[in-house]
Structure 1
Amino acid sequence: MEKITHISVELRDWIVNTMKTGASPEAIANAMIKKGFDPIFAYRTLLKLVNNTPVEVLAREQQPYIYEIPEIGQKGNIIATSDRDIKVLMRVEKPFILYLENLLSEEECDELIALSKNRLKPSRVVDTATGEIKTVPGRTSSGTYYRLSETPLVATIEKRIEELTNFPIENGEGLQVLHYKVGEEYKPHFDYYPASKINENTGGQRIATVLIYLNDVPQGGETIFPKAGVSITPKKGAAAFFHYGNSKGQVDRMSLHSSIPVLKGEKWVATKWLRQSEILERS
């Protein structure tokens, strides 16, 4: 079988951002070879990317992302759920971002933090080349996951997100709570998966994220979308919703984002990732 001697824009971007999180270029090259890439091409490509040298990509992969307004974006500036009204404070079209006020009450934020404090572990990432789950220098927070409806509060939050976004609860991953101390961060990354890592039994591709801020951060800790020039300041009970997968199977590279270092105080967030279909297998 003929070896692969080209890469797509998406794969190039994933390699660059995966290396920024601390992944080994050699491990990425070896994973490419296992997937059928020519060994010399794989190592030359990684060497170029390490040295910030331009890499040729397939022109046919450079199709512009087609933006589609998700259902939440068609609900106006005040979105009613069964137990509260949620206000849209800011809207960005490319990438599609909504900054939402009043997703959680102050009491709910405090309760979720209290529930999570004694179950935190160092945050890990999925190596997009090897599939290995591991800690990396580019993500220095600690966190915990909740099963669907694990507690009454978690069930309430999940139901509210379902009503807000029109994504069924079954399409959502378990709620993740993260804690950042002074100096901790999450370097630029995408939330969606590369095509080779999509599993229909686990809901297919991630296509949207709900990022809930559980406290006010005195300084630092903003969520940055560097390609769009957008910076979101944490506000207790508020949330950022961003959508990066369309009905054509495309993913939006403009959704690259990071959590910059906390400079004073601490930062607590809760993350809900939404998939394109029901998650049939859960870990």
Structure 2
Amino acid sequence: MDKIRQISSELRDWIISTLNNGVSPVAIADAMIKKGFDPKFAYEALFRIVGNESIKTSETNLNTYQSELPEIGKKGNVITTTDREVKVLSRVEKPFILHLDHVLSIEECDELINLSKDRLQPSRIVDPTTGEEKVAPGRTSKGMHYTIRENALITTIENRIAGLTDFPVENGEGLQVLNYDIGEEYKQHFDYFPPNKVDHDKGGQRVGTFLIYLNDVIEGGETVFPKAGVSIVPKKGSAVYFHYGNSKEQVDRMSVHSSVPIVKGEKWVATKWIRQGKIY
């Protein structure tokens, strides 16, 4: 069988994201070789990417993302759930980004922080070669996860997100709470899984991220989408929803994003990752 000697833009961007999260170039090259890439090509491609040199990519219609408007994008500028009205502050079509106000109350934000702070552990990433979670220098926050419907507050938040997005609670992973201190960040990355790590028996690919800001940050901590030229400043109780998966199982490389370092104060966020199908 002929060895692969071309690389897609999607794979290139994923490699950059993975490098930013502390995975060694050698580990990535070895993973490429196991997937059928020519060894010389794999190492040369990695060296060029590490050196910030341009690299020729091969694109086909199969990996050109076709945007599809998610249900939350069809609901207008004020979205009504069973327990509140949420206003849309801003909207970007490609990639799809919706900035929302007053998703959680001040009291709910404070309660979630208080429930979470004693359970924080160093944040981890998924190693692309082994599939195991590990600590990486590109992600320097602390975090914890709740189980689905773990308590009354979590159930309320999950039901509200489901009402806003029209994705069932069972399509969402357990709510994650993160805390960033001064200098801590999460470098550019994608939230969707590498194609070889998608588990179709557990909901399949991630298609959207619902990120809630639990406090005001004095300076720094913005969520930045560099390919869209968008920077969102944390505001207590507000949220950003971005959608990056379609019905054809494609993923949107425009959704690459980062959490920039905290300059003053700290940052608390809650994240709900949503998948194609039911996880539970």
Name the TM-score, length of structure 1 as normaliser: 0.95
- Opposite residue 180 of structure 2, the aligned amino acid is Y
Instruction: Give 5+ residue unaligned stretches, structure 2.
Output: none
Q: Report what 2:87 is aligned to.
A: 87
The Cα offsets for residues 212-249 of structure 1, whole Å up to 9 and x where unpaired, read as: 00001111111011111111011111000001111122
In the TM superposition, residue 8 of structure 1 has moved relative to its aligned partner by 1.7
In the TM superposition, residue 263 of structure 1 has moved relative to its aligned partner by 0.8
Q: Runs of 4 or more off by more than 3 Å in structure 1?
A: 61-64
In the TM superposition, residue 62 of structure 1 has moved relative to its aligned partner by 7.7
- Would the aligned equivalents of 1:211 and 1:270 in 2 still touch at CA under 8 Å? yes
1:76 to 2:46 alignment: no
- Would the aligned equivalents of 1:190 and 1:256 in 2 still touch at CA under 8 Å? yes
In the TM superposition, residue 64 of structure 1 has moved relative to its aligned partner by 3.8
Give the match's secondary structure for 2:73: helix
The Cα offsets for residues 140-159 of structure 1, whole Å up to 9 and x where unpaired, read as: 00000000011111011001
Q: Report what 1:207 is aligned to.
A: 207
In the TM superposition, residue 61 of structure 1 has moved relative to its aligned partner by 5.8
In the TM superposition, residue 63 of structure 1 has moved relative to its aligned partner by 5.1
C-alpha distance in 1, partners of 2:194/2:246?
15
Q: Report what 1:35 is aligned to.
A: 35
Q: Report what 1:14 is aligned to.
A: 14
C-alpha distance in 2, partners of 1:153/1:46?
45
The Cα offsets for residues 253-277 of structure 1, whole Å up to 9 and x where unpaired, read as: 1111110011111100000000011
Structure 1 residues 71 and 17 mapped into 2: Cα distance closer, same or farther (>3 Å)?
same
Instruction: Give 5+ residue unaligned stretches, structure 1.
Output: none
Give the match's secondary structure for 2:224: strand
Give the match's secondary structure for 1:271: strand
Q: Could you tell me the percent identity over the aligned residues?
A: 64
The Cα offsets for residues 16-64 of structure 1, whole Å up to 9 and x where unpaired, read as: 1111121100111111122222222211111121112222222326854
C-alpha distance in 1, partners of 2:254/2:59?
18
- Would the aligned equivalents of 1:32 and 1:129 in 2 still touch at CA under 8 Å? no
C-alpha distance in 1, partners of 2:248/2:130?
26
C-alpha distance in 2, partners of 1:61/1:150?
43
C-alpha distance in 2, partners of 1:59/1:218?
42
C-alpha distance in 2, partners of 1:60/1:264?
45
- Opposite residue 154 of structure 1, the aligned amino acid is I
C-alpha distance in 2, partners of 1:174/1:257?
21
Q: Report what 2:110 is aligned to.
A: 110
In the TM superposition, residue 2 of structure 1 has moved relative to its aligned partner by 2.9
- Would the aligned equivalents of 1:89 and 1:100 in 2 still touch at CA under 8 Å? yes
The RMSD of aligned alpha carbons is 1.3
Q: Report what 1:229 is aligned to.
A: 229
- Opposite residue 98 of structure 2, the aligned amino acid is L
- Would the aligned equivalents of 2:10 and 2:63 in 1 still touch at CA under 8 Å? no
Q: Report what 1:170 is aligned to.
A: 170
C-alpha distance in 1, partners of 2:96/2:60?
24
Q: Report what 1:218 is aligned to.
A: 218
Give the match's secondary structure for 1:201: helix
Q: Report what 1:136 is aligned to.
A: 136
C-alpha distance in 2, partners of 1:156/1:279?
19
- Would the aligned equivalents of 2:63 and 2:250 in 1 still touch at CA under 8 Å? no
- Opposite residue 113 of structure 2, the aligned amino acid is I
C-alpha distance in 1, partners of 2:268/2:176?
11
Q: Report what 2:196 is aligned to.
A: 196
C-alpha distance in 1, partners of 2:101/2:121?
29
